[in-house]
Amino acid sequence: KFAVKSRQVDYEKQQQQSISPSRKSPNGQLPPKVFVSHSIYKGKAALTVEPRPPQFSTLESGAIRVSKEGILMLQFAPATGLRQYDWTRKQVFSLSVAEIGSLISLGAKDSCEIFHDPNIGRSDEGKVRKLLRVEPLPDAVHNKFTSIEESIYVPVTKAEFAVLMTACNYILPHLLGWNAFANSIRPDDAGRMNNASSRSGGESEWER
Amino acid sequence: KFAVKSRQVDYEKQQQQSISPSRKSPNGQLPPKVFVSHSIYKGKAALTVEPRPPQFSTLESGAIRVSKEGILMLQFAPATGLRQYDWTRKQVFSLSVAEIGSLISLGAKDSCEIFHDPNIGRSDEGKVRKLLRVEPLPDAVHNKFTSIEESIYVPVTKAEFAVLMTACNYILPHLLGWNAFANSIRPDDAGRMNNASSRSGGESEWER
Amino acid sequence: KFAVKSRQVDYEKQQQQSISPSRKSPNGQLPPKVFVSHSIYKGKAALTVEPRPPQFSTLESGAIRVSKEGILMLQFAPATGLRQYDWTRKQVFSLSVAEIGSLISLGAKDSCEIFHDPNIGRSDEGKVRKLLRVEPLPDAVHNKFTSIEESIYVPVTKAEFAVLMTACNYILPHLLGWNAFANSIRPDDAGRMNNASSRSGGESEWER
Amino acid sequence: KFAVKSRQVDYEKQQQQSISPSRKSPNGQLPPKVFVSHSIYKGKAALTVEPRPPQFSTLESGAIRVSKEGILMLQFAPATGLRQYDWTRKQVFSLSVAEIGSLISLGAKDSCEIFHDPNIGRSDEGKVRKLLRVEPLPDAVHNKFTSIEESIYVPVTKAEFAVLMTACNYILPHLLGWNAFANSIRPDDAGRMNNASSRSGGESEWER
C-alpha cells in the first residue's frame, strides 16, 4: 500500500499548489473547501475525476440562482514507473453537464468523442483542440478513456465504469445546483409556503 | 462565451420580473429562495426546466404534511437571432409528478403526449388546451420536445435527455416532499422513536 | 381541482385521527413529525403509499444503531362516488424493505404476490392472511395492484408506476437508516477520523 | 419475531465488543457514531452488509480532502440452529469502491469473483487468500453469495439483491466522500463563489 500513499501525496501536492491564497479562509468564518475525486490507476496512466461546484449569484429580490453550472474535471497522468504518475504532465478535460450526459447515456457498445477548442468563436478557432474519446474495448468488459492531446489512455473495467457512472449520476444534480433548491424546501416554513401559494397564481402556466 | 452570458441575463431578467414583492424577505429571517433550472439552447428555440417546491401545512397535532406536490415547469422560448431567445413569448407547461413519471418511463422509441386544459371540469372545457409532445426523431439519438400552442419545438440529444432524466429522477422525491420526511429521521431521537414504537401498534396493518 | 381538495381533506382527517396524543410535542423541543405519501386515485379505488421511519437505539458506547427498519404502508380505499373514497374501509399492507425489493425488481412482464399472516409462527397460523398482488395488465402499460382481503384493486399506469419506483428507490436507503450513517460522515472531524483510522486495524477483514 | 430479536442482540453484542474506548466521546462534543447495516437471514447462514466511512485529512490551506475511501463490509455467519447464527465464526470480506462496482455492474446472468490476499506484494503473497464469489443460481431468481474461506454461502433472491444494489448505489458516492463535497456547495456563499470564479482561470483545462 506504500506505493498508493506516495501517489496520493503527489496528488495532494498538486492540489495544494493549485490553491491560491484567496481560497484560504483567514478568519475561519467560511466552512472549509472540500476536494473530492476518484482515481483509476493503470499501468501506463491514471485517470482522476473531480467535480467542481456550480456558482451562485444573488438577485435583487434576495433570491439566489445558479450563475454557472458545475463541471467534472478529468485528469490524465502518464505513468513514470511502477505506480508512479507524473502529474506535471497531466492532461485536463473539463466536462460540462451536457458532456457528462454523453457519458452516462453511453450504451455498452457505444463510443463518444468530445471536442474542446479554447478559441471557439474566434478567428483562431480550430488551431488548438482537445479530444476525449470513450470507446469500448474488444474484450467487452473494458472501456478506453483517451485524451488525444498527447494520447494518454486509460483502460477502464466494467466495474470501474459502473463506479464512475454512479458517481456521475449522483453528482450531476449537484452540478446543476438542484440540491440547493432541494435543501431550500423546508416544511417548517409552512406558513410562508402558503403565502407563496396565494401568490403563485401569477406564475401559472395559463397566465403570461 | 459572451453570447451565452447574454442569454443568461435575459433569463435572469425574466426571473426577476416574475418575483413579486411578497417573496422578498424584509427582515432576513427566512432563508433566501433558491431558483434552479436547466436549459437546452438550440437554433430555433430554447427549453428550460425548473422545479417548484411542494407546499406543506401543519396539522392540529403539530405534525406537518404535504398539502400540494411540487411541479416541474417547462418553458419554451423561440429564437430571435443567433443565441437570442424571446422569453416574453415563452410557452409554459407545468408538469405534475405523474406527468414527470410519463417522461422518466419513456423508452428509447416511445413518445408521449400530455394535454392540459385550464377549464377542465367546467362548461368551457376543451375550448383552450395545450399539448406537450415528446417523440423520438428518426436519427435515433434525438428526442423532440414540442409545445403545440404555437408549435415551438426543441430537438434534444440523447445526452441532453439523459441529463433531464437524471435531474427528474433526482428531483421527483423532493417534489413529493419525501426529502422532508427523510430529513425528519433523526437517530438522536432514539428515545422518542422508542416511544413511537410502543405506540405504533395502533397503526399496524392488522388493526383498523 | 375542487374534488381533489376534498379528497385530500378526507385523507388529512384520517391522518389526524391516527395520531395519538403521545406524538404531540408539548414543549416544542422536538422537531415536528413529517408525514408524506403519494396517492393514485382511480375510478373504483385509491392507493396511497406512505413511508414510516426506522427506529434507532443507543448502544452503551454511545453509538447509535438501527433497531428496526422502516416500512412502506400501502393503503387501499374503495371509491364511494366520483372522486370520493371511503378511508374507514381502507385495507392496509405494510411492506418490509425486502418486500419493497420485490416491487423495485419487477420486470415489465413480471408479477409478484406478497402474503402476510398476523399469526405466523403461532398455532393459528394461516387462519387469517392478506395478499398483495402486483401484476401486469394486458394493455402492457398498466400494472394492477390488488389487495385481496376484500379485493380492492387499482390499475396503475406505466407513468404512475415509474413515480412509485423512483419514490421507492429514493426512500429505501432511508428505511434502512443508511442516511443516518451518511449524515454522520463529517469531513470536519478529520482529526477524529484519523484516530478512528489508527484504531481500525482491529476491525479489518484479516483479524478476528 | 422473538427469534429475530435474539439475533439482533447477538449482532449488537458483537458490535459493542468491536468498539474500542477511543471511539467513545467523553465530553459529548462529537456527534455519536452511527452504525447501519442490512442483513439477509437464510437457513444455513446470514449475510450482513455494513458501510464504513471514508477518512478525511486537512490540507495546509485549510481545505479538506478524502485520504481514504470508505468500504463495505460483508459478514457471513453460519447458522447454529433455527434463526440462530454464530457471529464468532463470522467471515469478513471488505469491499473497496471498485469491488462494489463489480457488484452493481453484474448482469442477471453474470458472476464475479473477488480475491483478497493480506500479503499482497510481500514475500508470502498467495499463502493466504479469501475469495468472494457471486453467481446466479439455476432458478434464475437467486444469486449465491459465497465466502470461500470456509465456504459459507447465502442464497439471495432477486428482491433481496435489488435491495442490496439500491443500498450500494446509494452509499457508493458517500464512500467516495462526494457527499462532503455536495454538502459544501452553499448558495449563500454567493460572494465567495464569485471570488472563486475570478480565481478559477488558473485551474482551467487550457492552462497548466
CATH number reported for the structural domain that contains residue B92 in this entry: 2.30.31.10
pLDDT tens-digit profile of A135-150?
888 876 678 888 877 6
Domain-located, residue D32? no
Angle (nearest 5°) at CA D180 between D177 and D185: 140
pLDDT of residue B186: 79
pLDDT of residue C30: 67
pLDDT of residue B2: 31
Query: Between chains, do B65 and C34 touch, taking CB under 8 Å as contact?
Result: yes
| Residue A147 bridge partners (DSSP) | A132, A152
Q: Who's near A117: CB < 8 A, 6+ residues apart?
A: A125, A126, A128, A129, A130
Question: D73 to chain B nearest CA, in Å?
Answer: 22
Chains with ≥3 Cβ pairs under 8 A against D? A, B, C
pLDDT of residue B43: 93
Q: What residues in C contact B63, CB-CB < 8 Å?
A: 15, 19, 23, 32-35
Chains with ≥3 Cβ pairs under 8 A against C? A, B, D
Which whole number is the average pLDDT over D142-170? 89
User: Does residue B3 surpass a pLDDT of 50?
Assistant: no
Which whole number is the average pLDDT over B149-162? 89
pLDDT of residue B69: 96
How many CB atoms are closer than 10 A to CB D184?
19
Q: Which of B33-47, C41-55, D59-73, D178-192 has the lowest mean pLDDT?
A: D178-192
Question: A40 to chain C nearest CA, in Å?
Answer: 23
Question: A66 to chain B nearest CA, in Å?
Answer: 6
Domain-located, residue A194? no
pLDDT of residue D53: 96
Query: Between chains, do D166 and C104 touch, taking CB under 8 Å as contact?
Result: yes
pLDDT of residue D189: 57
Nearest to D98 among A53, A159, A177 (CB): A159
Tell me which of D58 and D129 has the higher pLDDT: D58
pLDDT of residue A18: 38
Q: How confident is the model at residue B190 (pLDDT cuts 50, 70, 90)?
A: low
- Those residues of chain C that have pLDDT short of 50 are 1-28, 191-202, 208
User: Does residue D29 surpass a pLDDT of 70?
Assistant: no
pLDDT of residue D200: 39
User: Does residue D4 surpass a pLDDT of 80?
Assistant: no
ipTM: 0.84
**Cα–Cα distance for residue pair D167/C170, rounded to 1 Å:** 10
Which whole number is the average pLDDT over A144-171? 90
Q: What residues in C contact D51, CB-CB < 8 Å?
A: 178, 181
Domain count, chain A: 1
3-state helix, strand and coil shares in percent for chain B, rounded to the nearest 5: 35, 30, 35
CA closest to B187 among chain C residues? C56
Domain-located, residue D134? yes
Among A42, A99, A43, which residue's Cα sits nearest to residue A72? A99
Count of A-B CB contacts under 8 Å: 153
Question: A53 to chain D nearest CA, in Å?
Answer: 6
Among C139, C173, C171, which residue's Cα sits nearest to residue C158? C139
CA closest to B119 among chain C residues? C1
Nearest to B34 among D31, D34, D187 (CB): D187
Q: Output b/e per residue, A3-42; b: 16+ Cβ within 10 A.
A: eeeebbebbbeebeeebeeebeeeeeeeebbbbbbbbbbb
Q: What residues in A contact B35, CB-CB < 8 Å?
A: 59, 63-66, 181
Count of A-C CB contacts under 8 Å: 8
pLDDT of residue C29: 54
Tell me which of B204 and C10 has the higher pLDDT: B204
C136 close contact with B: CB closer than 8 A = no
Domain coverage including residue A135: 37-120+127-180
Which whole number is the average pLDDT over D9-13? 44
The mean pLDDT of chain D is 79
Domain-located, residue A85? yes
The amino acid at D179 = N
pLDDT of residue C19: 36
Q: How confident is the model at residue A123 (pLDDT cuts 50, 70, 90)?
A: confident
Find the helix packing angle between A97-104 and B158-175, rounded to 10°.
Answer: 100
**Cα–Cα distance for residue pair C119/C129, rounded to 1 Å:** 9
Domain-located, residue A131? yes
- Could you please report the per-residue DSSP string of D147-160? ETTTTEEEEEEHHH
Q: What residues in A contact D192, CB-CB < 8 Å?
A: 30
Q: How confident is the model at residue A151 (pLDDT cuts 50, 70, 90)?
A: confident
How far is the CA of D196 from the CAs of A61, A68, B170, D11, D183, in angstroms?
A: 23, 12, 27, 48, 17
pLDDT above 90 as % of chain D: 47
- Could you please report the per-residue DSSP string of A104-132? HT--TT--EEEEE-TTTTSTTTTSS-EEE
pLDDT of residue B167: 97
Question: B114 to chain C nearest CA, in Å?
Answer: 12
Query: Between chains, do C53 and B193 touch, taking CB under 8 Å as contact?
Result: yes
D32 close contact with B: CB closer than 8 A = yes
The mean pLDDT of chain B is 79
Nearest to C105 among D12, D118, D162 (CB): D162
Domain-located, residue A135? yes
CA closest to C173 among chain B residues? B182
The listed range with the strongest mean pLDDT (A162-166, C110-114, D189-193) is A162-166
C205 close contact with D: CB closer than 8 A = yes
How far is the CA of C60 from the CAs of A19, B141, D17, in angstroms?
A: 43, 58, 10
pLDDT above 90 as % of chain B: 47
Cβ within 8 Å of D, A 78-97: 90, 92-94
User: Does residue D153 surpass a pLDDT of 60?
Assistant: yes
B201 close contact with D: CB closer than 8 A = no
Chains with ≥3 Cβ pairs under 8 A against A? B, C, D
User: Does residue B82 surpass a pLDDT of 60?
Assistant: yes
User: Which helix (H) or strand (E) is C17 found in, with range?
Assistant: helix C2-18
Question: B71 to chain A nearest CA, in Å?
Answer: 11
pLDDT of residue B165: 95
Cell numbers standing for residue D192? 465567495
Q: Who's near B1: CB < 8 A, 6+ residues apart?
A: none
Helix extents (H) in D79-118:
97-104
Question: A206 to chain D nearest CA, in Å?
Answer: 31
DSSP strands (E only) in chain C: 34-35, 38-41, 45-52, 55-58, 64-68, 71-81, 84-85, 91-95, 112-116, 130-136, 142-147, 152-157
C204 close contact with A: CB closer than 8 A = no
The amino acid at B158 = K
Residue to mutate among D68, D106, D178, with most A CBs inside 10 A, is D178
**Cα–Cα distance for residue pair D80/D85, rounded to 1 Å:** 5
pLDDT of residue A138: 82
Domain-located, residue D190? no
Question: B26 to chain C nearest CA, in Å?
Answer: 26
Count of B-C CB contacts under 8 Å: 154
Looking only at the bridges linking them, the beta strands covering A64-68 and B34-35 are: parallel
Which whole number is the average pLDDT over A14-32? 46
Residues recorded for chain A: 208
User: Does residue A16 surpass a pLDDT of 70?
Assistant: no
Q: How confident is the model at residue B73 (pLDDT cuts 50, 70, 90)?
A: very high
